[in-house]
Chain A
Amino acid sequence: MKGIKILGVFIGLALCLSSCRREGCTDELADNFDAKAKVDDGTCEYTSSSSGPTPLALNIPATFSRFLPPPSIPEDNPTTVEGVRLGKKLFFDKTLSNDLTQACANCHLPSQSFDDTNRFSVGIDGIAGTRNAMPIFNLAWNFNKNFFWDGRAQGLEEQALEPVTNPIEMHDTWSNVVAKLQADPTYPSMFRAAFGTSTIDSLLAVKAIAQYERTLISGNSRFDKYTQRLIPLTPSELSGYNLFMSESGADCFHCHGDITNPLWTDNLFHNNGLDASFTDNGLGDITGNPADNGKFKTPTLRNLAFTAPYMHDGRFQTLDEVIDHYSTGLKASPTVSPLLKKVSDGGVQLTPQEKADLKAFLLTLTDSSFVAGY
C-alpha cells in the first residue's frame, strides 16, 4: 500500500514535470503554434496558400502617401506575408553569425530605431568596425538604391548580403550559413512558403531580410501629426523649423528634406565639413573619384532621439555637439559641400536660442511608436 502511494506521487510529479516541459511549436508565426508548448520540438509548419505567397501591402504613413512616390520594391522580390515572416526570423537569428552569437538585430536594435548605441559596432571576434551602424527604416523610399554610408551596395538585397561575410561583423560564409539554415527544422518549410522552394540559398535569404526591412516604416512623429494638422508645434519648435528651412539661417533642408520630403534625407552623398583631410574617403573609395573623397550618405533626421552617436564615425555623442559642428566647427577641404556656408568662419554661427530651437524642432521628428512597435 505504501509502495502504491509512492508510485502515485512519482507519477504525479512526472506528469507535472512533463506538462511544465511540454513540447511543440513555440513560434507564434507558425501555422501550428502551440501556446502551451515550452520547448520547441521542430515541428513548426509554415504554409502559404495554394496560389503562392500572400502579397503584403506596406503600411504607408499618411504623410508619405501625400508627398512621396510609392515605395520602391524590386519586381523580383515583392513583399509577401511569408517572406516578411521569414525575413524577420532571419533578422533576429544568431544562426547568421559564425559562432551563433550575433544576429542583425544585435547591431540594429529595435529599441534604438534599429541602430546601435555604440560608436562602432563590435563583431563576433570582438573587433570593432570603423563606422557607426545606420538605422533601418523607411528604406523602401531610397529611390537612389544606394546603401551603406559610402553607397557601395546597390539595393537592399545586396546590402543584406555583406554583414554575414564581413570578417569584423558576423564573420561567416554564406555556404556555411545556408547549411545551418537548411539543417534547421523550421527554415526549409518557411522558405518553401515564402519562395516556393525549401532549397535555401543566400539570395533567397537576403530577399527575405530585405522584405522584412521594407516593412520597418517610421512616419508617426509629432511633426507628421503637425503636417496633418492634428497637433500644433510649440513656438520654439516652429522657430527651429524656420531656421532649418532658411537659407540665411541654418539651411539644413537642402540635404535633409522638409515638410514635403518626410524622409528627412536626400539619400545623396555630401562632405559636411567634418575634417580638413580624410582618414576615411567614404564614397571616394567606391567611385575612385577624388572629388568624392570625404562624402558620406545623408542620414535621416527621423528618430535622432534613439540613434546617437552621430555622423558616419559616431564622433558626436549628442545632438548639441552636432549642432555646434554646423554652427562653428566646419572645416574646409577640397570636396566640402558648396551648400555649407561660412566655412571659413566655422559655420552659420547660431545663437544659443537658435540652437535650442533647432534641437527642439529636430526632436519633433521622434517616432516613439515605431520603436515601441518592434
Chain B
Amino acid sequence: MKTTLKFSIYLLAISTFLFSCKEEEPIEPKQVEAETEVSFIFKQKYNGSEVLTSDLATTQYTNEKGNIHTISKLQYLVSNITLHRTDGSEVDLGGYNFVDIDQPLTRFYTPSVRVPEGKYSGISMTFGFDEEDNRDGAYTDLNAVSWSWPMMIGGGYHFLKFEGMFQDNTGSMKGFAYHNGTASKMENGSRVHEANHFRVRLWDYNGGFEVKSGERLNIDIDMNIEEWFKNPVLWDLNQYHMMLMPNYTAQKIMNNNGKSVFALGTIAPEL
C-alpha cells in the first residue's frame, strides 16, 4: 500500500513536470477567406429602354418582325447563379429567383451564400431549372403563384411567362402567351419530354470585376426583351402566339433565342 502510494505521487510529480515544461504550441489561425454579399438587380429593357410596371399593358413595342405589341405580364425564373473567378474556380450561389415585373421587389435578389473577395471574370446562371431542380411541386412559393408546368407536357415549372396583345395581320388585337418550359413532342405515338433550360454566360464586363470584403457588390443583369423575338430566329407573333407550351418547335426556338437575351449591366459597390 505504502509502495503504491509512493509510486502514485512519483507519477503525478513527473507528469506535472512534463506538462509544465511543455511549451504551448501556437495555434495556427485558420485561414478564413474574406467574404461579402453580392446582390443581383434584374432589369428588363426593350431596345434599350427600361420596361417598368407602369408600362404594363399600355406601352407599345415593335419587334424585329414588325409586330406591334404590348406587354401585360413578364415573369421568369433563374437559378444556380455562379460567379467565375479569374483563376478558373467557381462560386456557386445556388438557389433561384422568380422575377415578376409587376412586383418590383422581385427584381432584387441577394443569395444567402456569401462571395469570397477577389477578381472575377464572369457570371453564369440557369434560365429556368435544370433537370435536377425542375421537380413537380417542390417549391411552395412558386406553387402559390401558379408557376407549375403541366405534368402532361413534362411537368416541373414554367421558366417564363411573357404575355401581351399584338396587332395581327388583319389589324385586330390578339393576345399572345409566350410561355417557356420543358419541351414536349409526340414520338411513335407517345409523348416525349425534353429538358429546355439553358445556361446563360455573361462575360462581357470590361475584363471582369472585383469583389471586396466589407462592400456589397450590386450586379445588374439586363433582360433585353426584344431578343426573344429576333436572335437567331425571327419570331412572328402571327405564326406563334398561342398554345405554345405543347409546341415543341416553338419551345426550342425560345430556348435558342433566350441565350442572347441577358447582358451584364452596371457592376458597382453599394454606396
The judgment on whether A and B are partners is yes
Spell out A's residues near B (CB within 8 Å).
66-69, 141, 143, 242, 245-248, 253-261, 263, 266, 289, 291-292, 332, 334-344
Taking a contact as CB atoms under 8 Å apart, the answer to whether B152 and A242 are in contact is yes
Pull 8 A–B residue pairs with CB atoms less than 8 Å apart, ordered by A: A66-B137, A253-B146, A259-B137, A260-B148, A291-B58, A338-B165, A338-B175, A339-B163
Contact of B177 with A by CB under 8 A:
yes
Task: For the complex, give the distance between the alpha carbons of A261 and B139 in Å.
Answer: 11
Chain A nearest CB from B175 CB (Å) reads 3
Residues from chain B with a CB closer than 8 A to the CB of A245 are 150-152
**Of B57, B141, B146, B151, which is within 8 A of A266 by CB?**
B146
Taking a contact as CB atoms under 8 Å apart, the answer to whether A291 and B177 are in contact is no
Identify the closest chain A residue to B59 (Cβ).
A291
Taking a contact as CB atoms under 8 Å apart, the answer to whether A338 and B164 are in contact is yes
**Of A69, A339, A344, which is within 8 A of B141 by CB?**
A69
Given contacts A67-B143, A263-B144, A291-B58, contact A338 B176 (CB under 8 A): yes
Task: For the complex, give the distance between the alpha carbons of A224 and B174 in Å.
Answer: 36
Residue interface bits B115-155, CB-to-A below 8 A is 1, else 0: 00000000000000000000011001101111010111000
Residues from chain B with a CB closer than 8 A to the CB of A248 are 243, 246
Q: Which residues of B67-106 have CB atoms within 8 Å of chain A's CB atoms?
A: 72-73
Chain B nearest CB from A290 CB (Å) reads 8
Taking a contact as CB atoms under 8 Å apart, the answer to whether A258 and B56 are in contact is no
Task: For the complex, give the distance between the alpha carbons of A289 and B70 in Å.
Answer: 15
Given contacts A253-B146, A263-B144, contact A336 B175 (CB under 8 A): yes
Taking a contact as CB atoms under 8 Å apart, the answer to whether A69 and B144 are in contact is yes
Residues from chain B with a CB closer than 8 A to the CB of A337 are 175
Chain A nearest CB from B180 CB (Å) reads 12
Chain B nearest CB from A322 CB (Å) reads 19
Residue interface bits B152-180, CB-to-A below 8 A is 1, else 0: 10000000000111000000111111010
**Of B58, B144, B150, which is within 8 A of A68 by CB?**
B144
Task: For the complex, give the distance between the alpha carbons of A256 and B145 in Å.
Answer: 10
Contact of B245 with A by CB under 8 A:
yes
Chain A nearest CB from B156 CB (Å) reads 10
- Residue in A260, A335, A338 with the greatest tally of chain B CB atoms within 10 Å: A338
Identify the closest chain B residue to A292 (Cβ).
B57
Interface of A is mostly: loop
Spell out B's residues near A (CB within 8 Å).
56-58, 72-73, 136-137, 140-141, 143-146, 148, 150-152, 163-165, 172-177, 179, 242-246
Task: For the complex, give the distance between the alpha carbons of A291 and B72 in Å.
Answer: 9
Taking a contact as CB atoms under 8 Å apart, the answer to whether B163 and A338 are in contact is yes
Taking a contact as CB atoms under 8 Å apart, the answer to whether A335 and B148 are in contact is no
13 more contacts with CB within 8 A, not counting A247-B177, A248-B243, A253-B146, are A66-B137, A69-B144, A242-B152, A245-B150, A245-B152, A246-B150, A246-B152, A248-B246, A266-B145, A291-B58, A332-B173, A340-B175, A341-B175
Given contacts A336-B175, A338-B175, contact A247 B144 (CB under 8 A): no
Taking a contact as CB atoms under 8 Å apart, the answer to whether A338 and B72 are in contact is yes
Chain A nearest CB from B72 CB (Å) reads 6
- Residue in B57, B58, B143, B152 with the greatest tally of chain A CB atoms within 10 Å: B143
Residues from chain A with a CB closer than 8 A to the CB of B246 are 246-248
Chain A nearest CB from B181 CB (Å) reads 11
**Of B57, B137, B164, B165, which is within 8 A of A260 by CB?**
B137
Residues from chain A with a CB closer than 8 A to the CB of B148 are 253, 258-261
Identify the closest chain B residue to A70 (Cβ).
B140
Given contacts A69-B144, A335-B57, contact A258 B175 (CB under 8 A): no
Task: For the complex, give the distance between the alpha carbons of A259 and B146 in Å.
Answer: 10
Task: For the complex, give the distance between the alpha carbons of A248 and B164 in Å.
Answer: 18
Taking a contact as CB atoms under 8 Å apart, the answer to whether A253 and B242 are in contact is no
Residues from chain B with a CB closer than 8 A to the CB of A334 are 165, 173
Residues from chain A with a CB closer than 8 A to the CB of B244 are 247
Chain B nearest CB from A66 CB (Å) reads 7
Task: For the complex, give the distance between the alpha carbons of A230 and B123 in Å.
Answer: 46
Taking a contact as CB atoms under 8 Å apart, the answer to whether B57 and A291 are in contact is yes
Task: For the complex, give the distance between the alpha carbons of A342 and B173 in Å.
Answer: 12
